Structure formats: C-alpha cells, structure tokens
Amino acid sequence: MNGSVLIAAGGTGGHISPGVALAEVLSEKTKHFGFESVYIHSLLRNQNNPDLINPPCQVLWHNIPQLGGFKTLIYPFLFIFPFLKTIIQFRKLKIEAVIGMGGYSSLPAILYAILFRKSLYLCEQNCVPGKITRIFSKFAKKIAFSFPIVEEFKIPGKIIGNPIRKRVIPEHLNIRQNENLHEGKKNTINVLVLGGSQGARQLNQMILKAMENSDISSKYKFRLLTGTNLYDETKKKASDETEIISYANDMKPNYEWANLVVARSGAGVIAECLVFGLPMILIPYPFAADNHQKANANYLEKEGAAVSIHSTSDDPTSLVKYLLTWKDHSEVLREMGHVSLALSNVNAAYQTISYFFTDPR
C-alpha cells in the first residue's frame, strides 16, 4: 500500500496515548508496512498534551466542534468548513489508510476514509464499545480491541491489548516490586493513587479518610497523584507522611515504586498497571460514557487482577475493608499481581499494527 497512514487520536488522553504508541511503531517501520509517511490527527486544544509535545511524527491539528447542547441543530454548518479543509489536506498528503482511536474528534478522518474509499481501521479501548466504534464498525476493514467487549455487542474484531507508549514500558517484565511482600508482616505496602490528569476529589478524600485508621497508616505508604487542580486542596488536608504529587510526566518510576494502585478504571491506566504486574483497587468514574469504566472494572475483577468499589461518595468503608484484609495477607496482592501481568500485552502496539497491515484475517 502506497501513500500515507493517519492516526485519528484526538479527544482525551485515553485516545491519544494508544494512538501515539501506534505512531511510534509506524514511524520506525513505515516502509516495512508499505507506507511513505505517518501522521497523527488531533484537536487543537490537545497541543499541550504531554504525549503530543514531542510526538513521534507530524501532528495535523484540527478544530472540529463537539456535538451536543445548543449546537446540535447547527452542527452540520459548523462541521462542514473544517471538514472541507481536512479533505484538501488529506488528499495533498496522500492519506490512504486511517486508524480511528475513538471519540468525536476522529469523525472527520473516518468520514474521509469512507467517502474516498480509503482503508479504515478502528481501535477500541474499552469493554463497552464507544459510539464511533458502534456506528462505523461495518465500514472498517479490521477492529482491534484492548479487552473483551461485553456480550451484548456483536462487533467482529481481535482482542490484542491497549497499545502502550515506549516510555511507560518497564525495563524488566516481572513483578519484583511485589515478590518480597510475603517475606514478613513488617513490610510496608506502597499504594499509588491515580485520579487522572484532572484529578479525582473522591479518590483523594477516600484515601485521606482511610489513613485515619491507625492500622492502615502504619502498614501502608501512600503516594497521591492529585492532578494540578486538586493539589493545593489535598496537600492541606494530608498528613506529613503522605506523598502528594500534582502531576508526573514520567509515570514509570511511580509504577515501579508501587505495590498496589487505587485508580479510576480507564483503559489506559489499566493497561499500564497490567504491564507492571500491579494489583488494583478500581473506583470507576460513574458518569463515563455508557458507564464503560464500570465494565472495565468488572472485567479486571472477574479475572482476579483487581477489586472494584462502585460508589459516588468518598466513604472509605469498602477501601478500609480491603486494606485491613490485605495488611497481614499480602500474598493476596502478590497473586493478584501475577494475574495482572498475565493479562498484559507489552507488545500490543506492534501487534495491532501488524494485525491491521499484514495479518490477512
């Protein structure tokens, strides 16, 4: 296949990070997969996204408006002009294949592929397929899934794993950070708390309340990545023993430090925790589209790599119960870590690209 390949990765970090991971593979092996160039197509508001500041290939910026609210009736008029610009740009760059990572921002690239009969491929990160995947699956040549999708959706594709950026992949694929937990009851258990780039007040408050239990505070050491918006608020309420970080551009040292992760259940965070063999306490964001975070958490819990807390409050009761149970039975965390690592796929990015462009199935 001649021409160029384009990765439509625009909306949130959950779409951008795996898109960049695919771009890393294609940038190194462009000719191998039969292309001249590779591009990323992303929203203008993502210019400060850490994954796009030093991208592996050229980023084409666009400003397609989001559908919804009072704009619904006039959306076609708002959409048409930037879409025409997209068509002119893509034709000039000889875009012959489009990989859609999901979200409304991938719509212009997907429509271009359909209207001009270019090859379309889709990546679905979550157990509940997003609207883009559901609507355009019949136009795609192939679809790659990060996790098994829930049974009610009959969409053909291949389960490969969520593509992971090179800078996040661990140096050694083992779970050494948990292997020493069974050696004695005096070991400190390091807990990494992730609320996402914008933070999660619920998670921060739940952890701080749990630390009021003396048995927990004596056994567990917490590191909270609060998000920049919630850093000051959380710092004022936290004890001196709690490590508070607003944001980490390099997550690898944090994953290597941790024995346990408390987080939302977005596909990106889950995939990164899996490759580090980390057990998880997942607290799904209850207002995520189609409640997909709940489905992600349920899948990990069913497999035995995580437990989930389905709550909209900061009541720490369930969290405290888990932590007290594991306080003197850290072998449970070790076994969860083994399951976590077994579910991971550190080569998902390369395998996804290979599936799209070399696997004949």
Annotated binding site for UDP-N-acetyl-alpha-D-glucosamine: 12-14, 126, 165, 197, 293
The count of residues in the chain is 361
Helices 107-115 & 75-92 angle (0-180, nearest 10): 60
User: By the 8 A CB rule, do 223 and 256 touch?
Assistant: no
> In the structure encoding, which two tokens stand for residue 118, read together?
């270019």
Residue reference for tokens 């136009």: 139
Residue reference for tokens 């995580």: 306
User: By the 8 A CB rule, do 103 and 10 touch?
Assistant: yes
| Binding residue positions | 12-14, 126, 165, 197, 293
Q: How many CB atoms lie within 10 A of CB 89?
A: 17
Burial group, residue 195, by CB count within 10 angstroms (0-12, 13-18, 19+): buried
- Supply angle C-alpha 128, 131, 132, rounded to 5: 115
Burial group, residue 236, by CB count within 10 angstroms (0-12, 13-18, 19+): exposed
143 CB-near residues (< 8 Å, 6+ apart): 121, 122, 123, 124, 133, 137, 155, 156, 157, 158
Report the distance separating Cα 361 and Cα 357, nearest Å: 10
